[in-house]
Amino acid sequence: MPGQGTHGNGLLERRLQELAEERRRLAMIIDGTAAGTWEWNVQTGEMRVNARWAEIVGYRLEELEPICQKTFLKLVHPDDIALSDAALDDHFEGRSDNYACLLRMRHKNGQWIWIQDRGRVFEWDGQGRPLWMAGAHADVTELQQARQDAAETRQRLQAGRPRFNADASQHRQLLARFMDASQRGDSEAIQALLHANALLVSDGGGVVTAAVRPLLGAERIGRLFWAIARRGASYPARLGYVNGEPAILRFQGDHLHSVTTIEVVDGHIANIYSVLNPEKLPAVVTRGDSVASW
> Which CATH architecture is the domain 144-275 placed in?
Roll (3.10)
pTM, entire model: 0.49
pLDDT for 210 equals: 46
**One-letter identity of residue 43:** Q
* Domain boundaries along the sequence of the chain: 34-139, 144-275
DSSP annotation of 128 reads S
Residue range 190-217: mean pLDDT, rounded? 73
Specify the 3-state DSSP secondary structure of 229.
helix
34-139, CATH topology level: Beta-Lactamase (3.30.450)
Query: 266-284: per-residue pLDDT in tens?
Result: 889 988 988 887 776 754 3
DSSP annotation of 282 reads P
User: Which range has the top average pLDDT, 64-78, 163-177, 196-210?
Assistant: 64-78
Query: 24-67: per-residue pLDDT in tens?
Result: 665 655 565 568 999 999 999 999 999 999 999 999 999 999 99
Long-range contacts of 246-252 (CB under 8 A, 24+ apart): 246/168, 246/171, 246/172, 246/175, 246/294, 247/175, 248/175, 248/178, 248/179, 248/182, 249/291, 251/286, 251/287
